[in-house]
Structure 1
Amino acid sequence: MAIFPFIEATNIAQQEELPLFKEYAWDYNTDEMILKDGKTVIVEGNEALKVWIYKALKTKRYAHAGYSWNYGSEIESIIGQGYSRQTSKNEIERLCSEALMINPYIATVNVLNVQINNDSYMFDVRVSTVYGELEVNEDV
């Protein structure tokens, strides 16, 4: 019996496991779905999460009616704001984490190697997922 009877105690081992994460295979060079014999290809696990991360960071949040307001990134909004390098770096880290941590398969997000140019940003994202570690390179 719990101290607070209105709070139900749960055992982590009893919680439902997440289903295998699946996504359409993506060609990052052409920015298109990969087709094999005219049919879409499905990837699973970390490879599927890599596609999801790439697309989530490339999609402008609040700009598409077909997506939830939780999906996408606002990183593009800091371009041209005149922030200092450190402030830009901090904002990239914050906005990247906000964009990716909505996914229940992602446990942690670390932004690395931020390179700031006049009108673009490049950075690496190291993500800890339920399937292990994953690294993604991103241009904004």
Structure 2
Amino acid sequence: MALTPDITIPEITKLEIQPSRTYALDIDTGQIKGMVDGRQAIEQFIRKAIFTPRFVHEIYTDAYGCEVPSMIGKGFSNEFLRSEVKRMLTEALIYDSRINKVYNFDIKPNGDEIFVSFTVDTVAGVIEIDGVNL
């Protein structure tokens, strides 16, 4: 009769979402005003990521920021702008592990401005971004 070795099975633990506590940034003044976590931190990330130009600031990796401002006022057709803005906004956000999906875009080019609204599914629930002027 063959001997069977004892097999130790490690205990399986639940995956826990790590806190996303960060500094609260007043986007209008650029001042730090306390701390935010959870949904507020994700909302702040979304707004900061879409307003930060990609490839400009050395402090950020190439994955951070958005290229939409480089498209504005260059004479592209509205159809092309709608397509590219959708792609660029999605790319600016989806790499963050707290973001599950970016969809339901409403993109309105208007000369040197682009107004956008969209929906973001996150680990903290659905976040609606309405009427942002890029």
TM-score (norm 1): 0.78
**2:77 counterpart residue number:** 84
Distance change >3 Å, CA 31–CA 122, structure 1 → 2: farther
**Would you say 1:139 and 2:130 are equivalent positions?**
no
Match of 2:51 in 1: 58
Deviation at 1:125, TM superposition (A): 2.4
- 2:9: which partner in 1? none
For each residue in 1:63-92, what CA deviation from the matched residue of structure 2 results, as whole angstroms up to 9, or x when unmatched? 011111110010111112322211111111
Q: Report percent identity of matched pairs.
A: 30
Give the gaps of 5 or more residues in structure 2: 1-11
CA distance in 1, matches of 2:63, 2:117: 22
In the alignment, what sits opposite 2:123? 130
Partner of 1:73: 66
Structure 2 partner of 1:47: 40
TM-score for the superposition, normalised by structure 2: 0.81
Question: What residue is the counterpart of 1:33 in the other structure?
Answer: 31
CA distance in 2, matches of 1:97, 1:111: 11
Match in the other structure for 2:23: 24
What is the alpha-carbon distance in structure 1 between the residues aligned to residue 117 and residue 22 of structure 2?
Answer: 21
User: For the Cα contact (< 8 Å) 1:111–1:123, is it kept in 2?
Assistant: no
- Root-mean-square deviation (CA, aligned residues, Å) is 1.9
CA distance in 2, matches of 1:83, 1:118: 10
Unmatched 5+ stretches in structure 1: 1-12, 36-40
Matched pairs, number: 122
Point out the structure with max Rg over C-alpha.
Answer: 2
**Amino acid in structure 1 at the alignment position of 2:79:** Q
Q: Match of 1:122, SS?
A: strand
